[in-house]
Amino acid sequence: MSITIRDVAAAAGVSTATVSRALRGLPHVDAETRERIERVAKQMDYVVSPSASRLASGRTGTIAVITPFFARWFFSTVLSGVESVLQREEIDLLVFEVGDPAVSYRMPPEQRLRGRVDGLLVVALPSDEAEVAELLALGLPVSLIGASAEGVPSVGIDDVAAARTATQHLINLGHERIAIITGQPNPTGFTPASDRERGYRETLAAAGVSLDAQHRAHGYFTVAGGEQAMTSLLAEPRPPTAVFAASDEMAFGAIRALRRHGLVPGRDIAIVGLDGHDLADLLDLTTVVQPVRDLGRMAADALVAQLRLPVADRGAAVKATLVPTTLTVRGSTVP
């Protein structure tokens, strides 16, 4: 039905082997011959059959992104960064949405991956979970985004430092009752959550500001969770004068809670988030900005680099890249 490499070979008066070499830019092909083949191929509108090529070569030219969500700012932004690289590299992008690892999620069984992809990009998943470990054990090149693990390349921010920046900002403003809205109640293997909390604690300690156990609430990284968390903080005998929310979406929820109580963020209670969410500006939220799209880009670049390497040299330079964050001050924290 469709044009095959044989048709092209015949039309160009060469063997299929030569066509294959010529079209893939391999060496040992006469310049003239190559040109002719390319011309003929284009004119015949020939496209290599991916299935055949994959079967014969053992490479798929495909990578998979495994992510808890699509429909949340961080994740979709990462995805966008990833795809910009893959589009350039002409690599196919397969996606799997696995759900909140803190609740219930279903990893793609390895059967959905084996033989379909050359590499894996895992977004913000606790790398110590059994399921994630299985992925790593698949033997494919892997890159983590927004999480890290021993012996696996990763890119993310320095969560401790980012939290320090946020907390220090509140301290500089003169606050002494600084609460945190954190992600999970119990520290899991998902390090960003606990790292951010650690940065907060360390900074308070360093500044000699007391840490009140009552000034900690869980927002589960969601808007609704942030709202609940803030509400409970407000209900305390001595409510905080400032809040560090470990994610912008939780900060949004907190802002909503404030409004519901007739309080104005920045005037009545200072609040700072962490993310650099698209809509932080809209809500006038001070936040520590992480370059999320770049995270996706960099991880994809790193993975592609791995793939281009001869299999032998691959595990060589496993590094955890930390990209810098920047504080953006807005109305939610005013002197």
Partner DNA sequence: TTGTAAGCGTTATCAT
Partner DNA sequence: ATGATAACGCTTACAA
Q: Pick from 35, 39, 56, 279: which binds DNA (CB under 7 A)?
A: 56
- What is the rounded distance in angstroms from the CA atom of residue 27 to the CA atom of residue 3? 24
The answer to whether residue 6 forms part of the interface with DNA (CB under 7 A) is yes
β partners of residue 119:
63
Amino acid letter for position 139: G
73 binds, among a second copy, DNA, none (CB under 5 to 8 A by kind): a second copy
Instruction: Verify binding: residue 20, DNA, rule CB under 7 A.
Output: yes
Does 30 interact with DNA (rule: CB under 7 A)? yes
Taking alpha carbons only, the member of 114, 65, 131 closest to residue 296 is 65
Give the type of residue at 53.
S
Output the CA angle 222-159-289, nearest 5 degrees. 70
Nearer Cβ to a second copy (24/112): 112
Residue 116 or residue 201: which is nearer to a second copy going by CB? Answer: 116
At position 155, the amino acid (one-letter code) is V
Nearer to DNA, 53 or 76 (CB): 53
308 binds DNA (CB under 7 A): no
Residue 71 or 316 with smaller CB distance to a second copy: 71
Which phi and psi angles does 182 have, rounded to 5°? -105, 175
Sole window of 10-18, 76-84, 169-177, 208-216 interacting with a second copy (rule: CB under 8 A): 76-84
Among 10, 38, 44, 49, binds DNA (CB under 7 A): 49
Q: Three-class SS of residue 218?
A: strand
Regarding 314 and contact with a second copy (CB under 8 A), the answer is no
**Near a second copy in 260-279, by CB under 8 A:** 278-279
CB atoms within 10 A of CB 25: 9
The CA-CA-CA angle for residues 84, 96, 160, to 5°, reads 70
Residues in 132-191 at the binding interface with a second copy, rule: CB under 8 A: none
Whole-angstrom Cα distance, residue 221 to residue 207?
A: 27
Q: What angle do CA 324, 277, 206 make, to 5 degrees?
A: 50
Applying CB under 8 A, the residues found at the interface with a second copy are: 2, 47-52, 54-55, 60, 69-73, 75-77, 79-80, 83-84, 87, 90, 92-97, 106, 108, 110-112, 114-116, 223, 252-253, 255-256, 278-279, 282-283, 293
